[in-house]
């Protein structure tokens, strides 16, 4: 305490402006506060539009505006009135005041009046990123707007209640007014807490839909797709696990010669890595990936090898752990981003690889883990999607793709500008491509090569 008082004494001797002094003192004395009778005699500090703490002059409106943190308290024609509004709000938070707190035993004479309730605070959602209004009308933007609207209801009601009390009950005592301010700040705090902290906090809700889209009919010529391509179908996102577990067959006629050598090399590297993971020497007579189970670090080692080959085949660059742009609706970090120059081609979300054997919940665990990561991946796709007004409706080949994988299973998602998100079926109709053997790995490479080639052609045509 002695050190704090010594600091205060030295701080006073430095002769700072009164507002700065009041903010910095540990123990305020009566002489530190503004005098209600001659406050205007205090010199306006250089670079400041008001001599009071928490008050600024808004040139465009020609009025003073008090503010507590991010909370705007209205607009006032008089600097003194704005200072008093700040003081009352600050008292509710236990903060410092411009005038001595004893001047507010109750508000018998209320000079500060919120005559225009609409100016008490910014409109609901005004503290959100401006990019919310600039984003394409996609599923993520609609979800975020709904969250903002819902979380703004309680602060709006508290704000209206406070405004009504200030207008209709100018003689209200300080205790009741402090409670109104507390209610408002508490509602604002809950609003901030309700925001997703990052993309990883996003989940599907009970009413969410997702579209299952079949692979294009002009797909890979070197595969014999045993099931006919059908129309896109919408379904409840809560039923995705069942859909992902139902795989269709896809037999291979011939493997493209261009990938023979590289595929053999990747297979050898994957086998060598899985031999290291195995508790005991495993047989090399079968595809080790088909029975792989591991944590996320082990999965990522395998995913790295696959993505290296994808990038080599498609002339892409791989960026691990890339933060979303500042303009993104939700902050987050993408596990992998595949780029061609500055253009984002795909975003990859990596998960640990769970066992697919067993029955019931044990068998569904891997599918539940991967489908549960779809909302997270969609929110990251929204962050990387172009927002140029000249391209209001990006086609599927222009948007970045989302890949969700545990190294053994691969999901492919798309975020359209309009409508629900898309889970893209693989050739043959499977919602999840399972790397049951080298042929399925080759299928994965071929599918991604086709998607990225289309994207490149689209970019050239544009």
Residue-wise pLDDT for 402-424, tens only, equals 999 999 999 999 988 888 899 99
Least confident of 124-133, 349-358, 378-387: 124-133
Q: How confident is the model at residue 46 (pLDDT cuts 50, 70, 90)?
A: confident
Domain that holds residue 418: 209-457
Examine the fold and report which residue of 201, 230, 260 is the final residue of a domain before the chain moves on: 201
- pLDDT number for residue 437: 86
- pLDDT number for residue 461: 43
Summarised one tens digit per residue, pLDDT across range 279-318 is: 655 555 667 787 888 899 999 999 999 999 999 999 999 9
Q: Do 196 and 231 belong together in one domain? A: no
- pLDDT number for residue 207: 84
SS3 37: coil
Q: Do 51 and 85 belong together in one domain? A: yes
Residue 256 forms part of a structural domain: yes
Q: Do 33 and 153 belong together in one domain? A: yes
Q: What is the mean pLDDT of residues 127-150?
A: 58
Q: Do 390 and 446 belong together in one domain? A: yes
- Total domains in the chain come to 2
Q: Do 129 and 268 belong together in one domain? A: no
Q: Do 43 and 80 belong together in one domain? A: yes
Q: Do 134 and 233 belong together in one domain? A: no
- pLDDT number for residue 89: 82
Q: Do 115 and 228 belong together in one domain? A: no
Q: How many CB atoms lie within 10 A of CB 217?
A: 8
Residue 94 forms part of a structural domain: yes
Six-digit token string for 33: 């506060």
Q: Do 227 and 143 belong together in one domain? A: no
Q: Which residues contact 292 (CB under 8 A, 6 or more apart)?
A: 274, 277, 302, 353, 407, 408
Summarised one tens digit per residue, pLDDT across range 437-449 is: 888 899 999 999 9
Distances in Å between the Cα of 269 and the Cα atoms of 31, 141, 416 are 77, 41, 36
Q: Do 108 and 242 belong together in one domain? A: no
Least confident of 86-100, 206-220, 229-243, 383-397: 383-397
Q: How confident is the model at residue 373 (pLDDT cuts 50, 70, 90)?
A: very high
Which contacts (CB < 8 Å, 24+ apart) does range 311-316 have?
A: 311/338, 312/262, 313/259, 313/262, 313/445, 313/449, 314/340, 314/345, 314/448, 314/449, 314/452, 314/453, 315/340, 316/340, 316/345, 316/452
Instruction: Give the separation between CA 462 and CA 444, rounded to whole angstroms.
Output: 27
Residue 462 forms part of a structural domain: no
| Between 127 and 197, residue with greater pLDDT | 197
């Amino acid at each position: 305490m002695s050190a704090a008082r010594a600091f205060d004494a030295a701080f006073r001797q430095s002769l700072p402006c009164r507002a700065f002094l009041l903010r910095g003192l540990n123990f305020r004395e009566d002489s530190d506060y503004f005098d209600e009778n001659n406050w205007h005699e205090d010199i306006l500090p250089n670079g400041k539009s008001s001599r009071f703490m928490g008050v600024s002059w808004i040139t465009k409106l020609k009025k003073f505006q008090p503010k507590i943190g991010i909370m705007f308290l209205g607009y006032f024609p008089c600097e003194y009135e704005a200072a008093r509004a700040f003081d009352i709000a600050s008292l509710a938070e236990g903060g410092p005041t411009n005038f001595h707190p004893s001047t507010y035993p109750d508000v018998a004479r209320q000079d500060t009046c919120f005559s225009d309730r609409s100016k008490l605070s910014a409109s609901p959602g005004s503290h959100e990123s401006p990019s919310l209004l600039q984003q394409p009308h996609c599923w993520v933007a609609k979800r975020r707007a709904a969250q903002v609207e819902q979380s703004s209801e309680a602060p709006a009601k508290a704000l209206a209640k406070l405004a009504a009390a200030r207008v209709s009950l100018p003689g209200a005592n300080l205790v009741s007014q402090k409670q109104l301010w507390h209610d408002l700040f508490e509602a604002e705090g809950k609003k901030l807490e309700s925001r997703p902290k990052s993309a990883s906090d996003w989940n599907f809700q009970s009413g969410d839909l997702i579209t299952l889209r079949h692979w294009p009919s002009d797909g890979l010529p070197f595969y014999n797709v045993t099931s006919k391509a059908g129309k896109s179908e919408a379904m409840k996102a809560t039923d995705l696990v069942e859909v992902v577990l139902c795989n269709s067959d896809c037999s291979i006629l011939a493997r493209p010669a261009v990938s023979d050598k590289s595929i053999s090399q990747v297979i050898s590297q994957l086998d060598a890595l899985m031999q290291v993971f195995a508790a005991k020497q495993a047989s090399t007579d079968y595809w080790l990936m088909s029975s792989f189970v591991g944590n996320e670090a082990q999965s990522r080692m395998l995913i790295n090898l696959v993505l290296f080959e994808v990038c080599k085949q498609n002339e892409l660059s791989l960026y691990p752990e890339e933060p979303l742009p500042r303009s993104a609706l939700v902050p987050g970090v993408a596990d992998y981003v595949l780029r061609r120059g500055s253009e984002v081609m795909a975003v990859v979300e990596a998960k640990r690889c769970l066992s697919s054997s067993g029955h019931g919940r044990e068998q569904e665990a891997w599918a539940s883990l991967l489908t549960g990561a779809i909302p997270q991946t969609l929110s990251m796709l929204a962050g990387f999607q172009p927002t140029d007004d000249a391209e209001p409706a990006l086609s599927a080949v222009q948007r970045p793709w989302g890949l969700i994988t545990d190294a053994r299973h691969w999901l492919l998602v798309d975020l359209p500008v309009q409508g629900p998100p898309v889970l893209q079926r693989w050739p043959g109709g499977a919602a999840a491509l399972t790397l049951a053997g080298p042929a399925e790995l080759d299928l994965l490479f071929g599918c991604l090569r086709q998607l990225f080639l289309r994207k490149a052609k689209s970019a050239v045509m544009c």
